Amino acid sequence: MAILQVRDIDDRLYDFLKRSAKLRNRSISQEVITIIQDYLNSMQSGSANATDEFVALSGAWNDEKSAEEIIADIRKARTGSTRFGGRNGIFD
């Protein structure tokens, strides 16, 4: 098994881990491993379907402006780019 050593941990965090481990009848190492496992598992258990996540956002953006006003704002905010140099090039 791999060994993970953590140095310079804040005293308050260490005391919290110590109390948490004691409440659950675990060693501090076991408590830290459990916390890390729970955190990493929770990250993976999110919605597996990106389409469902996208559909859940439906209606999340409400604006008083009409579509035409929004488009006009976007066009007004655009600026010409000279990133690729002169005119009549492939990116002009």
Dist. CA 36–CA 29, nearest whole Å: 11
3-state secondary structure of 32: helix
pLDDT in tens, 25-69: 999 999 999 999 988 887 776 656 777 777 777 766 677 888 899
pTM of the model: 0.48
Dist. CA 92–CA 89, nearest whole Å: 5
Which residue has better confidence, 63 or 16? 16
Confidence (pLDDT) at 48: 63
Does residue 89 carry a pLDDT above 70?
no
